[in-house]
Amino acid sequence: MPKVIPGGIYLCQVSGTVSCGACCGLYNVANVSRTSLSAMLAHRSVQFQKIPRTVAAIDEFAARMQAVEPQHRPFPQFHHCPFIGLIGTDRQRVGCLLHPLAEGNAGIDYRGLSYYGGLACRSYFCPAPHELPARCKRILQTVIDDWYTYGLIITEAVLAGAIFGRIETMLGGSLVPELFDKNPAARAALNELLRIKIDWPYRPAHADTPCHHFFPDAGYVKPAIDYETIGVRPAPADDILVELVSEFKSADDLADARDRIARAIQNVVAALASKI
């Protein structure tokens, strides 16, 4: 862990089941379903424990994984690291198989053998630590209890910020993690809202992946909504729809999408308000 944590809150490794490997291209795969991704990571972890810790063996491992795994990338310019796997007790969270604390590495840092090298792994962070308010980061760490959802959401700084902003506006005050501590209904409602990112029905076929390219130097911009074609005026809350990457074929589709988001947010607000 770096001596100075960007944004003051460490987001990468949170608990025994919550962590993020999105910057390693974790979700930049052909099949990003939880089942497929979990199976791929579990296979890597088992196979990595079988190899000697030599440069040649580690390089051969990477080549072998790349040979047996589909290499289609939703974002070709976004590197997917073959050394990300499942780590920790019972391998319940994602992490780097080359890290000095990873199983079998005896405290030796092998990250220099990765594509970007050890320095990048130790020092390069996604925008979320800097852009998300501290209260939002702590709430996400408090409420989300699995690595799959956490990694998809914590890196979506603009989306998460927009969602929390809408909840706070309706609630009439700032959110704090303590509001969710003893409120299982609010925790469940927020998790349900965040899972919209995973199963969003209006994601276009050409971008049918919850993966996104969050590095600012990549020049990637999420496509705008084509209001003119469907004959509808923009609305302030549509920023969430843009961040989800949405395409609408009709005004009814857009109305349904807006309603889905509004109802999910209202469920969170109602659960929180009942305890305040």
Mean pLDDT taken over the chain: 92
Q: Which helix (H) or strand (E) holds 93?
A: strand 93-96
Q: Is pLDDT above 60 for 103?
A: yes
Give 26-52 pLDDT, tens digit per residue: 999 989 999 999 999 999 999 999 999
Give the tokens for residue 260. 């889905």
In this structure, of 95-109, 118-132, 257-271, the range with the lowest mean pLDDT score is 118-132
Look up residue 147 and give its two tokens: 């690595």
Task: Read off the tokens for 162.
Answer: 């927009």
Phi, psi dihedral angles at 166 (to 5 degrees)? -70, -40
- Please report, as a single letter, which amino acid is at residue 60: E
63 pLDDT exceeds 90?
A: yes
For residue 66, the 8-state DSSP code is H
- What pLDDT shows up at residue 2? 52
Say what the pLDDT of residue 123 is.
72
Query: Can you give the pTM of this predicted structure?
Result: 0.91
Span 209-233, pLDDT tens digits = 888 888 776 677 888 999 999 999 9
SS3 126: coil
Two structure tokens written together for 81: 């690291």
